[in-house]
Structure formats: structure tokens, C-alpha cells
Amino acid sequence: MFKINDNFRNIGESYLFSDIARKVSHYLDENPDANIIRLGIGDVTLPLCATVVDTLISASREQAHSDTFQGYGPEQGHKFLRELIVRNDYASRGVSLDYDEIFISDGAKSDIANIGDILSADNLAAITDPVYPVYLDTNIMTGRPVHMLPCNEDNDFLPKLPVSVRPDIIYLCYPNNPTGVAMTYDELGEWVDYANHIGALILFDSAYEAYISDNDVPHSIFEIEGAKTCAIEFRSYSKTAGFTGLRCGYTVVPKELMSGNVKLNDLWRRRQSTKFNGASYVVQRAAAALYTDEGQRAIRQNIDYYMANAALLKNSLTNCGLRVYGGKNAPYLWVKAPDKLGSWNFFDILLKEANVVTTPGIGFGSQGEGYMRLTAFSTHESTKDAASRIHKLFNK
């Protein structure tokens, strides 16, 4: 009889968003007139910008003529997009990369999950708690041992370099989902030095780099000296440009990154060529349109819109005595529950007394207990309304 991958039995069932939906629906059954505001959503709400939509249409039209039709493209992505990334996302920040160190994909999630294919199941993976669940669950699926790095108020939500264990793989996501906290050049530099010293690999998720406003926060780990010998970086157009439905992202695997005498760039190319047939041509054209002046202006406008929401929420909640983290270089706010309330109790109070839906921090790991994640992805009007309801509730 065939056997399943037994490691799947060890993944915690993710009931978080279904539990939230159930609680909200139950509340609405009993209070059908309630005006619910959702600040738990991790998806963007602003539509695609005009230049992206125009490009999607024109690239689709190319597919209607045999002389411009595109079939299978290169598995690693089209050169036109990879070269734009090298110039605009990296050279502009002083990072020199070759286009073949960039691998285009259908988004960061699949790359973050699939990178484990080229790494041994024996490696010890260090993962922050709270965490974007993909890092943890994909390691459990592989049966890879995991060491959690607690991130809480005591360490300003930044993991400490491990002392009791020596990880082989380290997952870092800054600016962070869910805490909204960012790492400075010096703080990330310590991890790069540490990884090079012990021969570990850093998997750096910079899905939220476009939200950075502080000058002392790096947009890419490759801005740190020495990172090319110890890090892989994941980027996404999802939260940057509203591509959550369109799907496009990329991964940077430097050619200097080696395990013994094996280049990880070669391994990842081999993995992608075997298991992936490339992101859609039309979508890659749309991503390329983001690097025009118009595309850049639209990205800025949308991010400014969301970050104005974040600032408003942070201000209002702080003013009524709540402890609020993040919300400066990331579209997430990490709010400490008052009076030692648990995450779900805090959730219930906000739902029932303010009609605001949030995400309980416990859903991101045990260190998230007692916290709530709010996102800045709603409209100005709803955000303002939610902020004033929460303010009224706690400003007693």
C-alpha cells in the first residue's frame, strides 16, 4: 500500500482564519445590523494601477498574433524583467548583481516553500516566533528539525543570536509580518556576520521592503557586506503593487553562495527548470511596467495611502493607552492586549464592543499570545472609523 509523507501529520491545523470567520458570522447572526470593519485582512484592497492594466491588455494582445505570440518562456524568467530588477531594485541601492542571479516566480510564498528542495532535511532551521506560518509548516512537512527564536517585548521583537544551538538555516523577515518591526543595518549585519561565521544560510524575506521609510533600515540583505556568501532573498510584487491576485515575485540567489564546492545558484536553477515552467509572460510584462515612472508613482501613492492608515491607527491606539509596535516601516501593527488579556479575549472584545475584526497574535505562534495584529490595508474611512471606535472603548 502506498504511504503518505507522515510529516504532514505533524503540521498544526490552521484554523485561525476559519475561526475568525466563524466568530464574525456568529456575531452577525445575532447582530445583523452591526457595521463590521475588518482590520485583520492581510490582502491589499487598492486595485492595480493603470499602467499595469494597460500592459496586461497590450501583452495579452501580443498573444493573439503568431509573430508576437509567446509560448513557454525561460523557467527563470524573462531577461527584460530580470535586468530591470538588477538595475532598479539593486544597482540603485549600491548592490551589484547579474541578471542570472534573479529568478522570477509566481510569488514569494512558493519560492519560500520550495527553497527547502535544495537543502538537506538534516539541517536545523531557526525560525522566529511569531512567524509567517509558511516557514514553519514547510520545514515540518520536510521533517526538518526546527528551533524557535522568541520575539517579544523583552527583545524589541528582534530575535537574539542563538547560543544553545547552531542553526544551519535561519529565516528572517524584515520588515516583519506580523509584528511590523524592522531591522536596522547594524542589527541585520550581526546576523550576516554570525551566519558567515558558523556557515549558516539566511533565507531573507523582504516582501515588505517597499514600506520602509527609515533610512537606517536596509531594503535588501545584500546591502550588508558579506551577505552574498550567506543569504538568499525573496521579494514579491504582492504588497508592493497589488499583485496578490496577479501573482509575481522573485528570488535572488547570488553566485557566490556556496555549500562546499556547490553553487546554490546552480541548484536553484536546476530545481526551477525541473519543477517550474516560468511565470506567465503577460504578468512579467505587467511587473516590468512597474519600473516606469508611472508605475513607480502609482506604487508610491498606494503605499503612502496604506501607511497613512497605519500612522492614524498607531496614533489613535497609542493615545488611548494601548502599547502598539510596528506600523512605521510595515503595513502591520502589533498591539499588546491590555490587562493581560489573551489574544482571543482581546479579539472578542474588539469584535463585540467596537465591531472591529482583527487577527489574534496567538495565530502566529506562542509568543503572539496577548497580542493582536492590525493591518493598514483597509480604506481611510474604515480605518478612521475603526481607530475612533477602539479609542473610545479603551480611553476610559
Choose which of 40, 107, 180, 361 interacts with ligand PLP (CB under 6 A): 107
Residue 321 to residue 53: CA distance in whole angstroms:
43
Candidates 105-113, 151-159, 258-266, 386-394; binding stretch for ligand PLP (CB under 6 A): 105-113
Using the rule CB under 6 A, give the single segment among 4-12, 75-83, 102-110, 217-225 that binds ligand PLP.
102-110
Task: Answer yes or no whether residue 364 interacts with ligand PLP by CB under 6 A.
Answer: no
- As to burial, measured by CB atoms within 10 angstroms (0-12 exposed, 13-18 middle, 19+ buried), residue 276 is middle
Q: Is 173 in the site for ligand PLP (CB under 6 A)?
A: yes
Is position 374 an interface residue for ligand PLP (rule: CB under 6 A)? Answer: no
Q: How far is the CB of 305 from ligand PLP (least distance, A)?
A: 18
Instruction: Give the number of other Cβ atoms within 10 Å of residue 141's Cβ.
Output: 15
For residues 140 and 349, which CB has a smaller minimum distance to ligand PLP in the complex? 140
- In the list 109, 285, 373, 391, the residue contacting ligand PLP (rule: CB under 6 A) is 109
Nearer to ligand PLP, 56 or 108 (CB): 108
Distance, CA of 290 to CA of 303 (rounded, Å): 14
322 or 326, CB closer to ligand PLP? Answer: 326
Q: Classify strands 102-105 and 249-252 as parallel, antiparallel or unpaired.
A: antiparallel
Q: DSSP label at 12? A: P
The least distance separating ligand PLP from the CB of residue 202, rounded to whole angstroms, comes to 15
Where does the chain have alpha helices with state H?
16-30, 50-62, 79-85, 108-114, 133-142, 185-198, 238-241, 264-275, 281-289, 293-319, 343-354, 380-394
Q: How far is the CB of 248 from ligand PLP (least distance, A)?
A: 8
Question: Which residue from 90, 103, 132, 211 is in contact with ligand PLP, where contact means CB under 6 A?
Answer: 132
**What is the nearest approach in angstroms of ligand PLP to the Cβ of residue 332?**
9
Site size for ligand PLP, by CB under 6 A?
Answer: 13
Please report where in the chains the cell 533600515 appears, as a residue. Answer: 217
Q: Which is nearer to ligand PLP, 132 or 291 (CB)?
A: 132
Q: Which one of 7-15, 103-111, 266-274, 340-348 is the stretch in contact with ligand PLP (CB under 6 A)?
A: 103-111
Please give the Cα distance from 134 to 308 (Å, whole number). 28
Whose Cβ is closer to ligand PLP: residue 131's or residue 200's?
131
**Cβ of residue 321: shortest distance to ligand PLP, in angstroms?**
29
Residues 66-85 that bind ligand PLP (CB under 6 A): none
- Sequence-distant (≥ 6) Cβ neighbours of residue 71 within 8 angstroms: none
H or E, element range at 383: helix 380-394
Which residue number, 282 or 349, has a Cβ lying nearer to ligand PLP? Answer: 282
Which 206-245 residues touch ligand PLP, going by CB under 6 A?
A: 207, 236, 238, 244
Q: Which of the stretches 106-114, 220-228, 350-358, 379-387 binds ligand PLP when contact is defined by CB under 6 A? A: 106-114
* DSSP symbols for 333-382: EEEEPGGG--HHHHHHHHHHHH-EE-EEGGGG-GGGTTEEEEES-S-HHH
Report in angstroms how near the CB of residue 1 gets to ligand PLP at its nearest.
35
**Residue that has been written with the C-alpha cell 541585520 in this structure:** 188
Alpha-carbon gap, residue 243 to 8, rounded angstroms: 30
CA dist., res. 238 & res. 312, Å (int): 23
Assign 3-state DSSP to the chain and report helix, strand, coil percentages, each to 5.
45, 15, 40
Coil vs helix vs strand at 149: strand
In the complex, least distance from residue 285 CB atom to ligand PLP, rounded to whole angstroms: 18
| Cβ-based nearer residue to ligand PLP, 40 or 107 | 107
Tell me the closest approach of the beta carbon of residue 250 to ligand PLP, in angstroms. Answer: 9
Q: Residue type for 259, please?
A: S
Binding ligand PLP (rule: CB under 6 A), the pick from 42, 145, 150, 342 is 42
Residues forming a β-bridge with 263: 258
Binding segment for ligand PLP (CB under 6 A), chosen from 60-68, 69-77, 104-112, 313-321, is: 104-112
Separation of CA 99 from chain center: 23
Q: Across the strands, what pairs with 250? A: 104, 235
Query: For ligand PLP, which stretch binds (CB under 6 A), given 101-109, 118-126, 153-161, 193-201?
Result: 101-109
Which of helix, strand or coil describes residue 197? helix
Alpha carbon 101 to chain centroid, angstroms: 21
What does the binding site for ligand PLP look like in residue numbers (CB under 6 A)?
42, 107-109, 132, 173, 177, 205, 207, 236, 238, 244, 249
